[in-house]
Amino acid sequence: MDIIIKKVKTVNYYDDLYNIPRELYYNKPIKPKHYKGINIALLNIPCGGFGDVITCKTIYDYFNKWYKGSNIYICTNDIDKFKTINEDVKNMIKLKEIRDDDCHSFYNLKMTTKVKFDIFIIVPVAKRTFYIKELQSMIPYATYFNTFTVSEYNNDLLGPYTFPTGIGKHNIGLLLNKIKIPKQTIIQNPFAVIYIQSPELTGVHGNYCFLAFIEMISKKYTYKKFQVIIPEWIVDIIRCYLEEPQSGTCYTINRRLRDYTSNYPNLYMIDNNKKKYIVKNGCSNDNTMILRGDILPKPRKIFISLIKDSIPDVLLTGDQSVTDALSCCSNKVIWYQIAPWKKDFAIQMSKHIPNKYLRSYKTSCGTIKGIDNSPNYDKIFNNYDFRINGKAIMDSIILANYYKEYELFKSYINVVNHSNSIESVIKKLLRYKNTIK
């Protein structure tokens, strides 16, 4: 009890009291008996793209490897997203939607299983602050002692988190993985990959991001035939001027595209229906660039294979896309489209690679000045691997769960649950300590 009281006296906020049981077991050895038969629920409420789904599936795979003999379940309201990326998850539980919503809260969901869970992990907490009362509306026995949170990379806006993923101080790393990647047979080399979000999500930065990367690779790589894989929204913005020439954004993008690709007098585009467009037409023996809008989207493993087989420079957005590129291809020069809420992630990447151009919206997608940039990811691999740092935290959670029925911890949990100030907790624990002497 003395060590618990000592730790209680060091906390600044009441919520920190819930962390003490697992902190007492941090870096303590764990054995199969500690996790045999326990039920762990990974609560996944996707909001937006597929990043939340891939994050959850990656952690699911980690846990199954680390804790053989435990029961790991993914509980989600969107099983179809897992199917779309060809992920086969046997232990999946459907969360019933009470009403329609774009980004659900637990208030709008209902648990559809009789499985009694020991541990809940929200993977990840997205776009809202987590409050235990919200989860209790769906799972009444959820508490701050058995419920834990995973952040989106370097997203401190809604924290604190049990697992603060990302790079830099206070973050525990990236969801790196060894994935068996089949060799791609879709497109001939040489080719580049651009996978970024549209201006609808990022503002006009999406357009400039695409153009900056195109300008850089057009100067850096001179091939007789050079193909560039692009997302559908880029096809739309190029096609809009080619089909209806007029002033405006579409005209500006097309004009700059032609200027930035001066090393490629022939510039064509193929849309998702295989229709070919001529952006500019030189001589038949001139260098040719073909923008390929007919490749994406692809299942995750095939998408990663495209990154792996492409030229050294790749332009990506989203935490998981960057992590997949790091996992498969540490020789890549990764350029990154910064979302406004991901500025800190970009800054930390720029420090640890290092690549000073990643810290600015103007240069993070590629720049002529960065043509000779040569990254080194050793600091990230050595210091920010979730498989090491995250496992240490999860081991402590499992150990705290194993010992939760011990009288000392039962008493501590009861005191915290029935107090409203740190001072009150300390007084009650001191009284309890005197009764057990």
Distance, in Å, from the CA atom of 341 to the CA atom of 156, rounded to the nearest integer, reads 9
17 pLDDT higher than 90: yes
Identify the pLDDT of residue 300.
Answer: 86
Q: Distance between CA 145 and CA 142 in Å, rounded?
A: 8
Alpha carbon dihedral 328, 332, 333, 336, in 10-degree steps, equals -30
Angstrom distance (rounded) from CA 34 to CA 226? 55
Phi, then psi, of 209 in degrees rounded to 5: -60, -50
- pLDDT band, very low/low/confident/very high, at 203 (cuts 50, 70, 90): low
What is the model's pLDDT at position 363? 96
Q: Which pLDDT score, from 0 to 100, does residue 158 have?
A: 72
Model confidence at 196: pLDDT above 70 = yes
Lowest-pLDDT range of 82-91, 105-114, 361-370: 82-91
- Say how far apart CA 173 and CA 184 lie, in whole Å: 29
435 pLDDT above the threshold of 90: no
Residue 137: pLDDT band by 50, 70, 90 thresholds? very high
Rounded mean pLDDT, 407-412: 93
The string of pLDDT tens digits covering residues 323-336 is 999 999 989 999 99
| Other C-beta atoms lying within 10 Å of the C-beta of residue 15 | 11
Contact indicator for 259, 282 with CB cutoff of 8 Å:
no
Helix boundaries (H) for 183-314 = 199-202, 205-220, 232-243, 249-260, 300-309
* Cα 140–Cα 142–Cα 146 angle in degrees, nearest 5: 165
**String of DSSP letters for 93-155:** EEPEESS--SS--GGGEE-------SEEEES---SS---HHHHHTT-TT--TTTEEEBPPTT-
Q: How far from chain centre, in Å, is Cα 351?
A: 19
DSSP 8-state class, residue 391: H
Mean pLDDT over each residue of the chain, to the nearest integer = 93
Higher-confidence position of 248 and 121:
121
Residue 186 pLDDT greater than 90, yes or no: yes
- In angstroms, the CA 142 to CA 352 distance is 38
Burial state string for 381-394 with b = 16 or more CB within 10 A and e = fewer than 16: eeebbbbebbbebb
CA distances from 315 to 30, 155, 279, 325, 327 (A): 41, 21, 22, 10, 16
Q: Cα separation of 399 and 335, whole Å?
A: 40
Query: At 248, phi and psi to the nearest 5?
Result: 130, -165
Whether the per-residue pLDDT at 246 is higher than 90: the answer is no
CA distance 79 to 88: 10
Packed helices 51-66 and 319-328: angle between N→C axes, nearest 10 degrees: 50
Round to whole Å and give the CA distance between 237 and 230: 12
Nearest to 16 by CA among 380, 425, 390: 425
Residue 202 is predicted with a pLDDT of 67
Is the pLDDT score of 162 beyond 70?
Answer: yes
Asked if residue 437 has pLDDT above 70, the reply is no
Q: Which of 416, 404, 414 is nearest to 34 (CA)?
A: 404
Report whether pLDDT(109) > 90: yes
Q: What is the mean pLDDT of residues 316-326?
A: 91
- Name 277's bridge partners: 269
Q: Report helix, strand or coil for 244.
A: coil
